[in-house]
Structure 1
Amino acid sequence: LDLSYNKIEYYDDTPKFYQVVEKLNLSHNALLGPPYWIWAEKLKNLKEINLSCNNYITQLFTNGYFEELLEYKTLVTHITAYNCNLNKKYIKLLCTLPSVKSICLGTSELSNSSFANYIEEFPCAGLDKCTEVEQLNLINIGIFNITSDISIYKQLREIDLSLNGLSAIPDEFCLLKNLEVCILSLNNLLYLPESFNTLE
């Protein structure tokens, strides 16, 4: 289901065909909150969601709505949500996607960067529950620090941390034994960890 490039503000009413939807693209709309039914209906077939460029998607995260969403778990395996103005608090929503394999929170397209997601530190609350992830796009989301907890991503194959503010990488980064693609360009790196050359 592709509803991208429209002006949709709300999509909370559950469609009759909800159980057959496998991919949902709501990018480039005017959503004031993510569709409630994605979380509430225990969808068995929905695997891919694109919510990118909904600049005010957190506007309805008041009066307990955000906290209610955190109580659900989905079977989504791919999420794209760049330029959603998500901060460290709202990134917690990713904890509802424990099966996710691919997460895209950033983009190298800078024309809309005033609405870029911003988390400062990685891993952070929410992302720390996505331990099955294999692909991570964290381009230009304000990361200044990678903690030693990076080693929780034992399945990680691709990571893009370009256009951030990193000045160092922890030794634990080198424990990512399945890593095949690692992009660290356009940061402020002063040195690499001693064990960096042990990456296979």
Structure 2
Amino acid sequence: MSPKSKIWNIQDLLAWLETHPPDRESIFQVSRHVALLLLLASGRRIHDLTLLSISAENCIISERSVTFWPMFGPKTDGTRGRQSGWLLHKSDNRTFDLVSWVRSLIDVTSVRRKSQDGLLNLFITTRGKVKAASRAVIAGWLKTSFNDIGVNCTPRSIRSAVASYDYARDTPLDEILKRGNWRGSANFFKHYCKAGGQVC
């Protein structure tokens, strides 16, 4: 089945990340960077980021990888099953090394999250009241990056952009579906896999 429409090119965002390394002391910059890396590595929904936790049972960090077991709640959770875990490997490229950046995010938010007992969400607000960051808040972080690279699309389009980019690079379909927590290929091809370009 051939793609029916176009989507912006992930390579523009990858290039921007390479030239805009975040300040490891900035909660906002590190939070945005980790959110972008997680979505690029997985192709999942922004909402799924709100279900990631740093609790011992939900987050396992080793020298070479980080594994997240999401809390219940993504769109595909239900009586038939739960969202699969996220296994993310260390990268030799410091810009894209999620193991290092997840550790940095936990460190830089440690003092702020202490003001809210039991706040174990990976992403928390970067200003104002201390609480778990909502999908809208995380989308707002991503939008600032989109503005910088001239992508006139909503942040949720990143799922389609990642899917299209991976498919165009001949990544095995089974791998794309598993990593992105897709239930099947029909919805993937119908709504998400699109040709390269700048049209949303």
TM-score calculated relative to the size of structure 2: 0.22
Higher helix share: 2
Structure with larger RCO (C-alpha < 8 A, sep 6+): 2
Structure 1-normalised TM-score?
0.22
If each structure's strand is expressed as a fraction of its own residues, which one has the higher value?
1
